[in-house]
């Protein structure tokens, strides 16, 4: 399994918005440029995050995006679901039925329970990690200069 780039971009966009002061927004073009995303594709991701009530869009000349919820209320799993949708990571293709010549109407898949357990564990981990916990990890990392540079850039680009 490989997570699509859109999920990673959406997580970091949401992460970036968590640093905004109250009543401030960040234009979508600014966010897409900073994370290196295609502006057209990135607008679709932002719309998905808005539809999921994770971020909100403010229209107008001084418009942009901001968080809809507090950072501790947005899990990485929430963002994943907003971008990818609610679907199982594994679906049996009936290979075991073909291999053993078992009737297609007979439910038989040796991997289904294993994959369901693995997916459950994966979901649990993603639900525990929030935007707030990512921010905390970011500030305890050893990139002090980069963090300062990021904050200065964010101050320049923030719209009030």
> What are the tens digits of pLDDT across the range 59-82?
998 999 999 999 999 999 999 999
Q: Return the domain boundaries, the chain.
A: 5-157
Q: How many CB atoms lie within 10 A of CB 5?
A: 15
Residue range 5-157, CATH number: 1.10.10.10
What pLDDT, on a 0 to 100 scale, did the predictor assign at position 89?
A: 78
Checking phi first, is residue 70 left (phi over 0); if not, alpha (psi -120 to 50) or beta?
Answer: beta
Q: What is the pTM of this model?
A: 0.86
**What integer is the mean pLDDT of 141-151?**
85
Torsion of CA 84, 14, 52, 5, to 10 degrees: -10
Give me the residue label for tokens 């950072």: 71
Measured distance CA(6)–CA(41) in Å, rounded: 9
36 exposure class (CB count in 10 Å sphere: 0-12, 13-18, 19+): exposed
SS3 of residue 147 by DSSP: helix
pLDDT above 90 for 20: yes
Tokens of 135: 């921010």
Q: What is the pLDDT of residues 73-117, one digit of tens each?
A: 999 999 999 999 988 878 777 777 777 777 766 666 778 888 889
């Amino acid at each position: 399994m490989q997570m699509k780039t859109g999920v990673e971009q959406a997580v970091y966009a949401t992460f970036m918005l968590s640093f905004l002061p109250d009543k401030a927004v960040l234009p979508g073009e600014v966010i897409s440029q900073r994370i290196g995303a295609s502006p057209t594709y990135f607008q679709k991701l932002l719309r998905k995050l808005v539809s999921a009530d994770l971020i909100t869009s403010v229209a107008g000349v001084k418009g942009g995006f901001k968080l809809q919820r507090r950072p501790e209320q947005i899990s990485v799993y929430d963002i994943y679901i907003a971008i990818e949708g609610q679907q199982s990571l594994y679906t049996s293709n009936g290979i075991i039925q073909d291999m053993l010549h078992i009737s297609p109407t007979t439910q038989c898949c040796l991997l289904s329970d294993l994959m369901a357990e693995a997916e459950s564990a994966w979901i649990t981990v993603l639900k525990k990690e929030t935007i707030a916990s990512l921010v905390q990890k970011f500030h305890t990392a050893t990139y002090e200069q980069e963090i300062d540079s990021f904050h200065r850039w964010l101050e320049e680009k923030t719209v009030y």
